[in-house]
Amino acid sequence: MTALDPFALGGEPSPDLLALRERVAAVVAEFDVPLPDGDAGLVEAARRLPLLRSRSDVLYPEFHIDAEIEEREIVPSLFPLEERLWNELLDREPQSIAGLLCKLKWAQTDKTFHFDSHSDALVASIIPAVERMTAREEIAAGRQK
């Protein structure tokens, strides 16, 4: 691959830049589909997020992406998608213990999650779920409050 000079062909995008745009569009098309409702959406977001990152990471050495190309070609397309998946994981309230565990595992393993700055949002989405699950268990056991 050559440098991604957008003006290499007298003002027209270079073939390499066009190839990068095609690859970015393909990654977006693969991952920018609606998530299922409930805990299945949490599980799917947790599955997609690292795959999205790995698919976008391979573009950097392949296309020799520098800061300028990243800002112009990658950030507008892939970062909003990554952010939507990330926010789903942060904000979506788990519906079951499985969803709760998925969310906690994501928070523990995601390198961009920082307990100091994102803890309030995580806790705000988990506490109501735990309270609801506890109430259901109490009702099922005949110990309704």
Tokens 């005949």 — which residue?
Answer: 142
pLDDT at 101: 87
Domain ranges in the chain are: 15-140
Residues of the chain with confidence (pLDDT) below 70: 1-11, 113-118, 143-145
**Chain centroid, CA 114 distance in Å:** 15
Cα 88 to chain centroid, rounded: 8
Which pair of tokens denotes residue 57? Answer: 């990471």
The confidence score (pLDDT) of residue 1 equals 44
H helices present in the chain, as ranges: 15-31, 38-57, 59-63, 67-69, 75-91, 97-109, 115-140
